[in-house]
Amino acid sequence: MLTNVFALYAREVKRFQKIWLDTVVSPLMSMVLFLAVFGIVSGDRMVGGLPYLAFVYTGLLTMTMVNASFSNPAFALVISKNLGSIIDIQLAPLPNWGIGIAYALAACTRALLTLAVALLITIWFIPIHGISHPILLLLGLVLTGLEFGMLGVCFGMYAKNFEALTFVTTFIVQPMIFLAGVFYPVASLPGIWPMVSQFNPMHHSVNLLRYATTGYADTAPMLSLGVIVSITVAVFVLMQWLTKKKLNS
């Protein structure tokens, strides 16, 4: 059974490799543009003892990763449904958990690959010297890739068309990014928004990865780790249920 699941994973990795301009280069372009703008306007500004550019950089890396891992399975599944090629995974002897995991792992692979390329291109311009918590960083990266990859699978299974995909990207994912503390500490938000941010899964990914890299955190890092682990488990269960419901009528 592992051969079957691995073949699906390998197919999905191959798919994003074939359209690397869209899947790897485009997100990098957005990130480089953001960095250029923030690099120019931030000057010598500091956030909690951390240069603002380093603060926003770790946020942008997480945002790039989250976008890549969410959109990879979501787009692949919605396209498959529209083309009718979803029947391939319905016919093949693949367990429901295996289908979800293969797509989520492919999403995680794309996210890590995008992240690695982004780092190679941009790290030279950022005032970050060393990694504060390497093991926590590795754990945070894998968990974040899987968490949003599985969310992408859930959405890809649920969505019927591209309009639904655009809706979620515009009205859910984008606001989540802006409330995640990518560009500023969530504590600086007015009113109830710092509290609302605590319910945003993306905030905890940004927070954990920023802490693991620089040692700076908006929220207790272990709380963020706990939230990420809990959401990952919950999304895995949801993904199983949705896969069964949507692929076996």
Partner 1 sequence: MIPALSVKHAGKTFKRQNAEPLEALKDVNLEIKAGSIHGLLGPNGAGKSTLISLISGISVADQGSIEVFGLDVAKQTQAAKQIQGIVPQEVVVEPAFTVREVLYYFSGMYGVPAGERDARIDAVLKDLALSDKAEERARSLSGGMKRRLMIAKSIIHKPKLLILDEPTAGVDVALRQKIWELVRRLRDEGTTILFTTHYLEEAEQLCDRITLINHGRIIKDGSLKDLQQEFSKNVITFELYDREATALSGVVADGNAYHFPMTDLAKDMRTLTEHYQSNIKSIRSEAVSLEKIFLELTKD
The binding site for partner 1 (CB under 8 A) comprises 1, 3-4, 6-8, 10-11, 14-15, 18-19, 83-85, 87-95, 247-249
Least CB distance to partner 1 at residue 87 (A): 6
Task: Indicate the residue among 4 and 198 with the shorter CB distance to partner 1.
Answer: 4
Token pair in block for residue 31: 């990130």
Query: In angstroms, what is the minimal distance from the CB of 109 to partner 1?
Result: 15
Output 7 or 138, the one with its CB closest to partner 1.
7
User: Cβ of residue 248: shortest distance to partner 1, in angstroms?
Assistant: 6
In the complex, the smallest distance separating the C-beta of residue 146 from partner 1, rounded to whole angstroms, is: 21
Measured from the CB atom, is 13 or 31 closer to partner 1? Answer: 13
Residue 172 to residue 175: CA distance in whole angstroms: 6
Q: In terms of CB distance, is 41 or 83 closer to partner 1?
A: 83
* Core vs surface per residue 158-185: b (16+ CB within 10 A) or e: bbeeeeebeebbeeebeebbebbbbbeb
244 Ramachandran zone, left/alpha/beta (phi>0; psi -120 to 50): alpha
Return the structure tokens found at 141: 């990266």
Under DSSP, is residue 50 helix (H, G, I), strand (E, B) or coil? strand
